[in-house]
């Protein structure tokens, strides 16, 4: 009798829920939690990877907040990058997927072309962009000059280095295009046909049908690209002078500075403290996003 009451439908369902998420929990406990806990502890030490790990209390954190100008520079650079690149790439990706979500001649080829830059990765691509962005002979400024525009000094002008990287990011926006396409393909054609009967134009259809129905993916894209943008590293490492974030520290991003501390000065404890500060910053932003989500993210499947 008692047992039966305990074993309700709800509990049975919960159990199934736990089984579904169990693989992740197991993986987390086995492979991720340990290293995370270690790095949290090490952030309170002078850990140097190989020979030293003495507890120093809050010294690393104290030093970061009160005695390290480059920390603040790197934080500023990273925020600048996040604030511009996240909205621009999101809007860009939605726009391109709108263009792609049609049946036009050659669409498969167009989709492939637009997706292509997203799969090109590695150091070669960044070196390629250094060529393209060359102020004198690079392709970008050559094209600008056809329109009578005197292109900027891109990677040599501290005011233009971050825009250069944002520009590069926009080039490879085809990656998130994929997400939006997948989401748009799921939208019933009937909805559009019904709207057409009501005389809705393309813009109206986008605003009232497409946009609300892809909000779950927009939400996903914003959260993940925010997290990703905060961790921008390799672009700056390859494209800045000596990999040190120059000119004038304008490409010294958070993770680049952290990398220098960890693997060039071997001040790993300090780097780990930095990473936990970043963690808290990103977590707060994500939590705010999660809180705001119900106001604008529309899950068709949820009960209203």
Partner 1 sequence: MDMTERKQLPNKQERRKPVISNNLLRTLNWVLLVVGSLFLLSPIWWMISTSLKPMEEIMQFPPTLLPQEWHWENYVHTWQSAPFTTYAVNTITITLICVVANVFVNSFIAYGFAKIPFPGKNLLFTIVLSTMMIPGFVTLIPQYVLFAKLEWLNTYYPLVVPALFGSAFNIFLLRQFFRTIPNEMIEAAKMEGANHFYIWRKIALPLVKPALATVAIFSFNGAWNDFLGPLLYVNDESLYTLQIGLQVFKEQASTQWNYLMAGSLLVLLPVIILFFVFQKYFIKGANITGSSSFDK
Partner 2 sequence: MLKRFCLLALALLLFLTGCAGFTGGSEGTQASEGKTEDGKVKIDFWTFWGSEIRRPVIDKIIEDFNNSQDEIVVEHTYIPFGDIWTKELAAIAANNPPDVVINDINATALRGQEGQAENLAPYLEKDDISGRFYENLWDTTLYEGDSYGIPFNTDTRLLFYNKDAFKKAGLDPNKPPETWEELEEYAEKLDKKSGNTYERIGFYPLYGVGSDVWLLNGSGMNYFNEDDEPVINSETNVDTMEWIKSWKDKYGEDTINRYQSQIDSQQSNPFFNGSLGMMANAATFYTQIRDYAPDLDFGVAPLPEKTSGNGNTSWGGGFVAEIPKGSSHPDEAWEFIKYLTDKEAQEYWAVKNFDNIANIEASESAAASDELSEKDQMVYEMAAQNLNETLLTPMPAYAPDYVNLINPQLDAILIENKPAQEALDKAQQDVEELVEKTAQ
Residue with tokens 């009451």: 5
Map the footprint of partner 2 across residues 264-303, applying CB under 8 A: 264-267
Map the footprint of partner 2 across residues 6-45, applying CB under 8 A: none
Contact between 70 and partner 1 per CB under 8 A? no
How far from chain centre, in Å, is Cα 132?
24
Map the footprint of partner 2 across residues 217-246, applying CB under 8 A: 241-242, 244-246
Map the footprint of partner 1 across residues 26-45, applying CB under 8 A: 26-28, 30-32, 34-36, 38-39
**What residues contact residue 246 under an 8 Å CB cut-off, 6+ apart?**
240, 252
Contact range with partner 2 by CB under 8 A, out of 11-19, 128-136, 185-193, 225-233: 128-136
Phi (first) and psi of residue 281, to 5 degrees: -60, -50
Q: Give the residue with the Cβ less far from partner 2, 84 or 156.
A: 156
Which of partner 2, partner 1, none lies near 231, with the C-beta cut-off 5 to 8 A by kind? partner 1
Phi (first) and psi of residue 45, to 5 degrees: -125, 175
First-to-last CA distance in the chain?
A: 36
Residue with tokens 């637009």: 114
Phi (first) and psi of residue 82, to 5 degrees: -65, -45
Can you state the angle between helices 268-296 and 59-67, rounded to 10 degrees? Answer: 70
Q: Give the residue with the Cβ less far from partner 2, 158 or 175.
A: 158
d(C-alpha 160, C-alpha 201), whole Å: 39
Contact between 54 and partner 1 per CB under 8 A? no
Build a one-symbol-per-residue string for 140-179: x at contacts with partner 2 by CB under 8 A, - elsewhere: -------------x-xxxx---------------------
- Bridge partners, 45 (sequence order): 55
Contact between 62 and partner 1 per CB under 8 A? no
Chain residues binding partner 2 by CB under 8 A are 48-52, 63, 67, 69-70, 127, 130-131, 133-138, 153, 155-158, 241-242, 244-249, 252, 260-261, 263-267
């Amino acid at each position: 009798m008692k047992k039966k009451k305990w074993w309700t439908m709800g509990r049975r369902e919960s159990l199934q829920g736990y089984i579904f998420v169990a693989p992740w929990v197991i993986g987390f406990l086995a492979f991720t939690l340990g290293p995370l806990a270690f790095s949290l502890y090490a952030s309170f030490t002078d850990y140097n990877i190989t020979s030293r790990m003495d507890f120093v209390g809050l010294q690393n954190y104290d030093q970061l907040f009160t005695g390290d100008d480059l920390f603040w520079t790197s934080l500023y650079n990273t925020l600048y990058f996040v604030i511009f690149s996240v909205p621009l790439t999101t809007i860009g990706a939605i726009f391109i997927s709108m263009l792609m979500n049609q049946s036009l001649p050659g669409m498969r080829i167009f989709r492939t072309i637009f997706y292509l830059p997203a799969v090109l990765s590695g150091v070669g691509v960044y070196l390629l962009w250094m060529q393209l962005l060359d102020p004198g002979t690079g392709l970008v400024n050559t094209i600008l000059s056809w329109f009578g525009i005197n292109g900027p000094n891109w990677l040599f002008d501290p005011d233009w280095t971050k825009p250069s990287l944002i520009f590069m990011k926009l080039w490879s926006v085809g990656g998130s295009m994929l997400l939006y396409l997948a989401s748009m393909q799921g939208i019933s054609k009937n909805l559009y046909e019904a709207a057409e009967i009501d005389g809705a134009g393309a813009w109206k259809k986008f605003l009232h049908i497409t946009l609300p129905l892809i909000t779950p993916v927009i939400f996903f894209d914003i959260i993940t690209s925010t997290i990703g943008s905060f961790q921008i590293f390799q672009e700056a490492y390859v494209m800045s002078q000596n990999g040190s974030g120059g000119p004038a520290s304008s490409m010294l991003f958070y993770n680049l500075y952290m990398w220098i501390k960890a693997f060039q000065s071997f001040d790993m404890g300090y780097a780990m403290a930095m990473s936990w500060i970043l963690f808290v910053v990103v977590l707060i932003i994500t939590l705010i996003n999660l809180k705001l989500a119900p106001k604008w993210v529309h899950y068709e499947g949820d009960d209203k």
